């Protein structure tokens, strides 16, 4: 029997890169104007409390780089350095905007496990077998990893929630290479509140 699929098939490399770049600028716009994005009323659970401090470090480095380039570059190259420096600064702010405006979502249909604009896994309630607080340190710095049949979505090399499926599922994440997974480990700033809402919806959906 074919495993259920969650989300559309992943886009190709070039299309994925273009979509990511455009999402950076959209997220910057939404964050600065406090527009969270086109999602229906739902419970939102952020993870930016852990992700934002590291990104702010890079924002600061990008800001410091601008006057340094101005001092080091001669003549009209200063204008080039200024343009590149401003672009890098705004890009890093946009990256921060992606984690601010793409929280995990919990509503009547299920839970959407997200990270920035690059990962969005919609899980309907009938596929949720269990959810628990499970704190793990993750080896390496990659956000998305595999641990056997478990998909890991880490924030600063840590996860604190584990959601198990009722059956193996295929998710639209290139890291899985199309192989079914049995669970997802991810991070939330308030795992206790998320756990409570998920369990209440699962109980309500259980006939």
Instruction: Give me the mean pLDDT over the 162-186 stretch.
Output: 92
How far is the C-alpha of 31 from the C-alpha of 44, rounded, in Å? 15
Distance between CA atoms of residues 146 and 171, nearest Å: 12
Question: What percent of the chain is modeled with pLDDT above 70?
Answer: 91
pTM: 0.86
Which range is least confidently modeled, 29-43, 87-101, 157-171?
29-43
Q: What is the pLDDT of residues 144-157, one digit of tens each?
A: 999 999 999 999 99
Phi-psi region of 187 (alpha: psi -120 to 50; beta: other; left: phi over 0): beta
* Mean pLDDT value of segment 67-77: 81
Task: Tell me how far apart the alpha carbons of residues 70 and 77 are, in angstroms, rounded to a whole number.
Answer: 9
User: For residue 69, is pLDDT > 90?
Assistant: no
Q: What is the mean pLDDT of residues 170-182?
A: 89
Q: 186 to each of 1, 60, 72, 74, 77, how far by Cα in Å?
A: 28, 27, 43, 47, 44
């Amino acid at each position: 029997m074919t495993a259920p699929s969650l989300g559309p098939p992943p886009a190709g490399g070039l299309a994925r890169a273009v979509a990511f770049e455009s999402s950076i600028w959209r997220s910057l716009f939404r964050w600065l104007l406090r527009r969270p994005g086109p999602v229906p009323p739902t419970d939102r659970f952020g993870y930016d409390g852990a992700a934002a401090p590291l990104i702010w470090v890079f924002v600061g480095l990008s800001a410091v780089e601008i006057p340094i380039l101005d001092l080091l570059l001669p003549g009209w190259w200063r204008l080039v350095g200024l343009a590149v420096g401003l672009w890098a600064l705004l890009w890093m702010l946009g990256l921060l905007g992606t984690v601010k405006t793409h929280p995990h979502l919990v509503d009547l249909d299920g839970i959407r496990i997200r990270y920035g604009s690059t990962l969005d896994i919609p899980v309907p309630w009938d596929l949720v077998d269990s959810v628990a607080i499970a704190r793990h340190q993750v080896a390496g710095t990659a956000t998305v990893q595999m641990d056997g049949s478990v998909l890991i979505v880490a924030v600063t090399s840590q996860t604190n929630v584990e959601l198990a499926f009722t059956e193996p599922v295929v998710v639209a994440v290139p890291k899985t290479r199309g192989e079914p997974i049995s669970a997802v480990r991810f991070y939330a700033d308030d795992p206790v509140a998320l756990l409570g809402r998920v369990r209440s919806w699962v109980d309500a959906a259980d006939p």
